[in-house]
Structure 1
Amino acid sequence: MYLGIDLGTSGVKVVLTDEQGAVVRTTHASLNVSMPRALWSEQDPADWWEATCQCLDALKASQDLSTVKAIGLSGQMHGATLLDENGDVLRPAILWNDGRCDDECHEIEAAVSDARQRSGNIVMAGFTAPKILWVKHHEPDVYGRIHKVLLPKDYLRYKLTGEFASEMSDAAGTIWLNTESRKWDSILLAATGLNESHMPALFEGNAVTGELTASLAERWGMKSVPVAGGGGDNAAGAIGCGIVDPGQAMLSLGTSGVYFAVTDTFRINTEQAVHSFCHALPSRWHMMSVMLSAASCLQWYAGQSGYEDVGAMLDDVEQSVSYSDEATPLFLPYLTGERTPHNNPYAKAAFFGVTASTTRAHMARAVIEGVSMALADGMDAVHQSGVSVSSISLIGGGAKSPFWRQLLSDISGQNLTYRKGGDVGPALGAARLAQLAVNPDKSLSDICFQPEAEAEYKPDPKVNEAYLAKRQQFRELYYAIEPFWSSPKKQKTFTN
Structure 2
Amino acid sequence: MKRYLMGFDIGTLSSKAVLTDLSGTIIAKCQMEHAIEIKHPGWQEESMTMWWEEFKAAAAYFLGLAGIEKDQIKAIGVTGLIPAMCAVDYGGNPVRNAILHTDVRAEKELREINEKLDCKISHGHMLPKILWVKRHEPEAFKRIHKIMVPHGYIGFKLTEHATMDYDSATMAGGLFRESSLGWDEGTIREFGLEPYLFPDVYPASQVNGQICEAAAEETGLSQDTKVIVGVGDTFASMLGGGAYNAGHFMLYLGTSGTSIYAENSPEQYITIPHYGEGKGHFTGRIFSFGESILHLRNNLGYDSWEALNSHLEEIPPGSEGLWYFPHYKLQTEASFFGPDAEFMLGYRGCHSQFHLYHAMLEGIAYNARYNISGLDLPIRRINMFGGGTNAREICQLFSDVIGRELYYNPKSSTALGIAFLAGYGSGLIERYDTLEKSWLSDSIAVKPDEAKARQYHALYDKYQELRERLMELDSEIDKIQE
- The equivalent of 2:282 in structure 1 is 288
Please say if 1:415 is aligned against 2:405: yes
Cα deviations by residue, 1:273-311 (Å, 9 ceiling, x for unpaired): xxxxx9644475311246264223222221232012233
Question: Which stretch shifts more, 434-443 or 199-208?
Answer: 434-443
- Residue-by-residue CA offset, 1:173-193 (whole Å, 9 max, x unaligned): 333434465433446645654
State the one-letter code of the partner of 1:463: Y
Tell me the distance in 2 between the aligned counterparts of 1:191 and 1:380.
42
Q: Aligned to 2:458, which of 462, 465, 469?
A: 465
CA distance in 2, matches of 1:180, 1:473: 45
The answer (yes or no) to whether the contact 1:299–1:310 under 8 Å persists in 2 is no
| Alignment partner, residue 117 of structure 2 | 112
Inter-partner Cα distance in structure 1 for 2:156 and 2:436:
26
- Indicate the SS of the match to 1:69: strand
1:430 has 2:418 as partner: yes
Aligned residue pair count: 461
Structure number with greater Rg is: 2
Is the 1:166–1:201 Cα contact (8 Å) retained in structure 2? yes
The runs of 4+ residues in structure 1 deviating greater than 6 Å are 341-346
Secondary structure of the equivalent of 1:66? helix
Distance 1:242 1:40, change over 3 A: closer
Please say if residues 292 and 326 of structure 2, whose CA atoms lie closer than 8 Å, have aligned partners that are also in contact.
Answer: no
Q: How has the CA–CA distance of structure 1 residues 184 and 465 changed in structure 2, closer, same or farther, with 3 Å as cutoff?
A: farther
Specify the alignment match of 1:90 in structure 2: 95
Contact 2:89 2:146 in 1 (8 A): yes
Find the residue that maps to 2:260 and give its secondary structure: strand
Distance 1:107 1:49, change over 3 A: same
Q: What amino acid is aligned across from residue 432 of structure 1 in structure 2?
A: F
Contact 2:423 2:429 in 1 (8 A): no
Paired position in structure 1 for 2:250: 250
Counterpart-to-counterpart distance in 1, 2:399 and 2:48: 38
Matched, 1:331 2:325: yes
Which deviations, in whole Å up to 9, do the C-alpha atoms of 1:419-454 show, x marking residues without a partner?
2412xx111111111111221782221356443221
Tell me if the contact between 1:151 and 1:170 (Cα under 8 Å) persists in the aligned partners.
yes
Classify 1:222/1:88 alpha carbon distance in 2 versus 1 (closer, same or farther; 3 Å): closer
Unaligned runs of 5+ in 2: none
Q: Is the 8 A contact 1:330 1:351 kept in 2?
A: yes
For each residue in 1:37-95, what CA deviation from the matched residue of structure 2 results, as whole angstroms up to 9, or x when unmatched? 43332211111111111111111111323212111111112212222333332332222
1:195 and 1:112 map into 2 onto residues whose CA distance is 18
Pairing of 1:142-157 with structure 2 (within 5 A): 142-157=140-155
CA distance in 1, matches of 2:52, 2:318: 48
Q: CA deviation at 1:391?
A: 1.4
Amino acid at match of 2:182: K
Residues 227-236 or 93-102, more deviating: 93-102
2:90 & 2:473 partners in 1: Cα distance?
Answer: 50
Give, in whole Å, the separation in 2 of the partners of 1:204 and 1:344.
41
Matches within 5 A, 1:136-285: 136-175=134-173, 176-179=175-178, 181-186=180-185, 189-190=188-189, 192-218=191-217, 219-241=219-241, 243-263=243-263, 280-282=270-272, 284-285=274-275
Segment of structure 1 superposing worse, 129-138 or 200-209: 129-138
Letter in 2 for 1:222: S
**96, 112, 131: which is aligned to 1:133?**
131
Distance 2:389 2:158 in 1: 32
- Give the Å deviation of 1:247: 1.8
Q: Deviations over 1:194-215 (max 9, x none)?
A: 3432212211121111221123
What's the counterpart of residue 348 of structure 1?
340
* CA contact 2:127–2:172 (8 Å) conserved in 1: yes
Q: What is the aligned partner in structure 2 of residue 56 from structure 1? A: 59
Query: Is this contact kept in 1: 2:248–2:380, CA < 8 A?
Result: yes
* Conservation of the 8 A alpha-carbon contact between 1:130 and 1:192: no
SS at match of 1:303: helix
Whether 1:451 aligns to 2:441 is yes
Alpha carbons of structure 1 residues 402 and 141: separation in structure 2 relative to 1, 3 Å = same
Residue matched to 2:49: 46
CA contact (8 A) 1:234 1:258 kept: no
* SS of the residue 2:91 aligns to: coil
> Structure 1 vs Structure 2: percent identity of aligned residues?
24
Distance 1:225 1:379, change over 3 A: same
Separation (CA, whole Å) in 2 of partners of 1:83 and 1:482: 46
Question: Relative to 1, partners in 2 of residues 1:59 and 1:462: Cα closer, same or farther, differing over 3 Å?
Answer: same
SS at match of 2:22: coil
* Cα distance change of structure 1 residues 420 and 60 upon mapping to structure 2, 3 Å threshold: same
Give the Cα–Cα distance (whole angstroms) in 2 for the partners of residues 71 and 433 of structure 1. Answer: 9
CA distance in 1, matches of 2:11, 2:126: 17
TM-score, structure 1 normalization: 0.82
Matched residue SS, 2:70 = coil
Structure 2 residue matching 1:330: 3-state secondary structure: strand
Matched, 1:322 2:316: yes
- Residue of structure 2 in register with 1:31 after alignment: 34
Q: Is the 8 A contact 2:90 2:144 kept in 1?
A: yes
**1:119 corresponds to which residue?**
none
Letter of the 1:208 counterpart: V
1:446-494 deviation per Cα after TM superposition (whole angstroms, max 9, x unaligned): 3564432212333713212212321332244245426889xxxxx9984
CA shift, 1:228, in A, is 0.7
Q: CA deviation at 1:327?
A: 5.0
Tell me: CA distance 1:351–1:3, structure 2 relative to 1, closer, same or farther (3 Å).
Answer: same
From the superposition, tell whether residues 288 and 342 of structure 1 become closer, same or farther in structure 2 (CA, over 3 Å).
farther
The SS at the match of 2:252 is: strand
SS of the residue 2:310 aligns to: helix
Residue 274 of structure 1 is matched in structure 2 by: none
1:275 equivalent in structure 2 = none
Change (3 A) 1:403 1:46: same
Cα distance in 2, alignment partners of residues 166 and 344 from structure 1: 37
In 1, Cα distance between equivalents of 2:264 and 2:476: 39
In structure 1, how many angstroms separate the alpha carbons of the residues matched to 2:105 and 2:472?
A: 22
Deviates more, 1:449-458 or 1:161-170: 449-458
For the residues of structure 2 that align with 1:447 and 1:431, how far apart are their CA atoms? Answer: 11
Residue 322 of structure 1: how far off its partner (Å): 2.9
Relative to the length of structure 2, the TM-score reads 0.84
* Range moving further from structure 2, 296-305 or 349-358: 349-358
- Contact 1:84–1:148 (CA under 8 A) maintained in structure 2: yes
- Quick one: which amino acid aligns to residue 215 of structure 2? L
Task: Return the alpha-carbon distance in structure 1 between the equivalents of residues 94 and 480 of structure 2.
Answer: 40
Contact preservation (8 Å) 1:161, 1:210: yes
Paired amino acid for 2:257: G
Q: Aligned residue for 1:269?
A: none
